[in-house]
Chains A and B, each alone.
Chain A
Amino acid sequence: GEDVEQSLFLSVREGDSSVINCTYTDSSSTYLYWYKQEPGAGLQLLTYIFSNMDMKQDQRLTVLLNKKDKHLSLRIADTQTGDSAIYFCAESYSNTGGFKTIFGAGTRLFVKA
């Protein structure tokens, strides 16, 4: 079945770049997302990329998609302590009920001052 995998932890120093990686299995995925979740809070949509794109940049965030390898990454430039959170990769694919979105287990990003 469909699956999204991410590494569970990442630790970086403030000011460095963070790269969070994700692999997915469904080749028919249409949209791939990155969500941020702070402790006790909801899921904040950071960015998403359509499957026919290779890259999307939005301020400090850069999303790279390698469709051949089914690999998605999120790069956060100049990482700040406020970026500490769990980052969920998600894929969305079309099925009979519309678009279904499934999530990876989340990568917990620790930013050291």
Chain B
Amino acid sequence: AAGVIQSPRHLIKEKRETATLKCYPIPRHDTVYWYQQGPGQDPQFLISFYEKMQSDKGSIPDRFSAQQFSDYHSELNMSSLELGDSALYFCASSWDRGKTGELFFGEGSRLTVL
């Protein structure tokens, strides 16, 4: 079965650079969530989109922005990268903002900021 696809799987950037992560949800899922998991930490909610509109916002820094496109894929843009942004970034998808209870995660994109 198709799962949530994230790219790239690994990314190395330097401080003050920008990075873009992409997420392709499970087909027919209309809701996308972004989470950040620091080393040894639990995943922290960043932002979510439903039907291409931002539906909820968590602890996303102002340096980050995200959007969901007409094909439901989403991109997380990170600018002025800091060492503390090094983390595993997960995308998850669900149908209708999670009403069915099923939230599926991708394998994550590991960002390393040097």
Contacts and interface: CB of A to CB of B under 8 A. Distances in A.
A41 B101 CA distance: 22
Q: Contact size class for B?
A: 20 to 34
B55 interface: yes
A42 B90 contact: yes
A83 B6 CA distance: 25
Interface string B73-114: 000000000000000001010101111011111111010000
B68 interface: no
Contact of B45 (A44, A48, A102): A102
A68 B69 CA distance: 42
Interface string B47-70: 010100011111000000000000
Contacts of A95: 56
B102 A98 contact: no
B33 interface: yes
A6 B103 CA distance: 20
Interface in A79-94: 88, 92
Interface residues of A, number: 26
A59 B96 CA distance: 28
A97 B55 contact: yes
Contacts of B44: 103
B105 A92 contact: no
Interface of B: 31, 33, 41-45, 48, 50, 54-58, 90, 92, 94, 96-99, 101-108, 110
